[in-house]
Amino acid sequence: MTIRAVRGAIQIDCDTRDEILSGAAELVTTVLERNGLAADDIVSILFTATPDLTAEFPAYAARLLGLTDVPLMCAAEIAVPGAMPRVLRLLAHVDTPRSRAEVRHVYLRGAAALRTDLPQ
């Protein structure tokens, strides 16, 4: 197996605990499904949130999904003027037989506009 990085993002509707948890859970679940991954394949996940999302840690959603022994970290995105608001991002390091070209990066809801070059 090889360690690969998988990127993903989701734009959520508002800065509430429920929105952050449900959006982060949707993002993690979709990344795993589209890449044929199980919890044991995850080496680590770095989550980021735009500065307007502060109601909850997105990594907590991964814990609620059962990723209790995976190293997780949260950070704030830099506040770039004009950047898309209310975006949760992840960078997951995974153990997979897929080539770099076969990895499916996931951009959901409004965040799909960040990577129009990728198939949805």
Q: Of 60, 77, 98, 109, which one is the catalytic site residue?
A: 77
Whether 77 is catalytic is yes
Whether 104 is catalytic is no
Whether 17 is catalytic is no
Give the list of residues 6+ apart from residue 4 with CB closer than 8 angstroms, or none: 93, 94, 96, 98, 100, 103
Whether 89 is catalytic is yes
Whether 115 is catalytic is yes
Whether 4 is catalytic is no
Q: Of 74, 98, 104, 109, which one is the catalytic site residue?
A: 74
CA distance 108 to 26: 9
Residues annotated as catalytic are: 7, 63, 74, 77, 89, 107, 115
